[in-house]
Amino acid sequence: MSTGRIDKEQVRVHIRWMIRRDMAEVLQIEQQSFEFAWTEEDFLRCLRQRNCIGMVAEHNEKVVGFMIYELHKDRLHILNFAVGDGWRRQNVGRQMIAKLVAKLSSHRRTKITLEVRESNLAAQLFFRKQDFKAVRVMRAHYEDTGEDAFLMSYRFGVEAPEEVGELVNRIAQYEEN
């Protein structure tokens, strides 16, 4: 007999392109996840751009997570990333990041970047666990609050560099060992 914890850690999701009928579930996850949530119009405006991609993580035909990212010449840039309340800490986010990492190559797009609010410790720790490094503080980045952001970056084929310094150490002090 298996425990619930083991089952949770092994949740497998199907990651696919976002389609119009996913929007209600995506908006629900967005509103659960963020104080300053994107509106449906924000999603649609972004997804209409040629270089903007939306993907969902699905489990038993239910959307349990999503990501919105931009394609740039040398990188992918995550604009929005969330996992539904009941699905966090069950490897859903890790599988979504793995899908993005699989799109990188040594000769074209070599990194993934994103901004994380200074107050969003959970996201900082999650992305750090996925081998992202905090590379810069972006002062007063968020218009809604004036809050700073950390620019975080994942580099294809690069092992954890030692040059990162204070930003990673500040996040590291909260990390579970």
For residue 125, give its domain range. Answer: 105-177
Mean pLDDT of 1-20: 71
CB neighbour list of residue 80: distance below 8 Å, 6 or more residues apart: 30, 38, 46, 66, 67, 68
Contact between 82 and 33 under an 8 Å Cβ cutoff? The reply is yes
Do residue 170 and residue 115 come from a single domain?
yes
Instruction: Judge whether residue 177 has pLDDT over 80.
Output: no
Do residue 147 and residue 87 come from a single domain?
no
Q: What is the DSSP letter of 139?
A: T
Instruction: Judge whether residue 141 has pLDDT over 70.
Output: yes
Do residue 87 and residue 3 come from a single domain?
yes
pTM over 0.85: no
| Domains identified in the chain, total number | 2
pLDDT band at 8 (very low <50, low <70, confident <90, very high): very low
Mean pLDDT of 158-172: 49
Do residue 135 and residue 51 come from a single domain?
no
Looking at residue 148, its pLDDT comes to: 95
Above pLDDT 70, what percent of the chain? 84
Do residue 71 and residue 111 come from a single domain?
no
Contact between 51 and 72 under an 8 Å Cβ cutoff? The reply is yes
Do residue 135 and residue 87 come from a single domain?
no
Do residue 7 and residue 50 come from a single domain?
yes
CB neighbour list of residue 47: distance below 8 Å, 6 or more residues apart: 18, 54, 68
CATH number for position 56: 3.40.630.30
Looking at residue 59, its pLDDT comes to: 97
Do residue 77 and residue 13 come from a single domain?
yes
The owner of tokens 């986010």 is 93
Looking at residue 15, its pLDDT comes to: 97
Do residue 84 and residue 112 come from a single domain?
no
Do residue 128 and residue 96 come from a single domain?
no
Looking at residue 94, its pLDDT comes to: 97
Of 15, 11, 21, give the one whose Cα is nearest residue 86: 11
Which helix or strand (DSSP H or E) is residue 15 part of? Answer: strand 14-17
